[in-house]
Amino acid sequence: MAPARKPLTMEDREDISRGLAKGLENKDIAASIGRDESVVSREIARHGGREAYRAWKAGAAARESRSRPKERKIDNDRELCERVTGGLRKGWSPEQIAGRLRFARNRGETDMSVSHEAIYTWIYAQPKGELARAGIVLRTGREQRKPRGRKKSTGAKIVGMRSIGERPAEAAGRQVPGHWEGDLVIGKAGKSAMGTLVERVSRFLCPVALPDGHDADSVKDALFDAVKDLPAHLRKSLTWDQGTEMARHAALTVAADLPIYFAHAHSPWERGTNENTNGLIREYWLFELNRDGVSGWLPGVFSWRLRCVMGAVCHGCRRCGRACAGSRGCGNRRRGALRAWRAGSGSRRWRS
């Protein structure tokens, strides 16, 4: 365990000031007070530099910095607060807002900046119901953070799983088509569900209707029907999470000649393409799926996905401010393009 960090005392700061007056190097000053050189270097740089450092000023500034509670940056800057709340009302994520401000600052358009973590902290510090009254709703719909802790898993419930570590290396590079990621999207109150298969290179979405439920047998039969007509070179692998709906994975592998690999527990980033697609579905459309399959919004998903990946260009990403093209566009860029497309302004926002 690393030793506890101890703040510099007034005596330490006076020794630093005397050392600077003598022209000593930072490493010599650090040795004399028993601290690391980096601590002394940051202390001097933070409080005026070698020429302007004064022990009493540095001590006063340190005491003020440690005082609690501290006013939040967003609360202290009215213009910044308006920019943040305006972005949230538009449905932007804190990361998008912070990224757009950073891009504007780099271009000299503003001197404001804030981190996405500061925005989240400000949001969750608001009184309950205040965000809704201000017309602000996060994309997740939450007003509080989910706890990071997880219950320890009781172990795998699926027999014969093949880990994602055994998946062909070519799948990781997104250069060779035929490698898929999949998962379930559960409807309201768990009464309905659909499967989603997303091809890693093209991001092509293949929806899988589950009218008979989402138990292991139903999922196996539905996935087989979805992939059985694909050419062999487009059935190289399927990566799934460790949900029990994939308990019949061995039978599906044999029937469809489709190797199935499983991501590690609680590791959604190992199936990022599919998780991002499902997140967009959850954000933009209701989950009320009918018994005959999925509802009528799916053609729109196909149209938008293919346009984004196959070469359409949107004018500016709110996250980084740059135009994006093809599959190299980030998820936030695609979200911005989708909002414009759904609003019927495609002719203004897209160009070939």
Looking at the fold, whether 227 and 261 belong to one and the same domain comes out as yes
Indicate whether 325 pLDDT > 50.
no
Domain that holds residue 221: 164-273
Task: For residues 91 and 94, give the distance between their C-alpha atoms in angstroms, rounded to a whole number.
Answer: 10
pLDDT at 286: 47
State the CATH number of the domain containing residue 204: 3.30.420.10
Among residues 51, 66, 81, the one where a domain terminates is 66
Q: Is residue 311 part of a domain?
A: no
232-272 pLDDT tens trace: 999 999 999 999 999 999 999 999 999 999 999 989 999 99
**Residue 286 falls inside a structural domain:** no
Residue that the structure tokens 């009493």 belong to: 56
Assigned token pair, 235: 């059935």
Residue 151 — very low, low, confident or very high, per pLDDT cuts 50/70/90? low
256: number of Cβ within 10 Å? 19
- Look at residue 29 and tell me whether its pLDDT is greater than 50: yes
Mean pLDDT of 153-165: 79
Predicted local distance difference test score (pLDDT) of residue 92: 84
Average confidence (pLDDT) over 221-238 = 95
- Tell me what pLDDT residue 292 has: 44
Same-domain pairing of 210 and 267:
yes
Residue 150's pLDDT is what? 59
Q: Are residues 169 and 269 in the same domain?
A: yes
pLDDT at 136: 79
In a domain, 282, yes or no: no
Cα(first)–Cα(last) distance of the chain, in Å? 56
Do 124 and 224 belong to one domain?
Answer: no
| Structural domain contains residue 225 | yes
Q: What is the mean pLDDT of residues 18-26?
A: 94
170 lies in the same domain as 262: yes
Residue 349 near residue 337, CB atoms below 8 Å: yes
Lowest average pLDDT, out of 53-67, 152-166, 222-236, goes to 152-166
C-alpha 25/C-alpha 202 separation (Å) is: 57
Mean pLDDT calculated for residue range 287-306 = 45
Q: How confident is the model at residue 316 (pLDDT cuts 50, 70, 90)?
A: very low
Per-residue confidence band for 130, with pLDDT thresholds at 50, 70 and 90: confident
Residues 178 and 129 placed together within one structural domain of the fold: no
- Do 209 and 244 share a domain, yes or no? yes
How far is 230 from 342, CA to CA, in rounded Å?
A: 30
Tokens 């949107």 belong to 314
Whole-number Å distance between alpha carbons of 279 and 273: 10
- For the chain, the domain total comes to 3
Region of poorest pLDDT, from 62-76, 115-129, 214-228, 331-345: 331-345
Cis amide leading into 147 (omega within 30): no
Name the more confident of 295 and 207. 207
CB 220 within 8 A of CB 248: yes
Residue 331 belongs to a domain? no
Beta bridge partners of 76: none
Whether pLDDT at 201 is above 90: yes
Q: Is 344 a domain residue?
A: no
Same domain, yes or no: 250 and 177: yes
3-class DSSP state of 116: helix
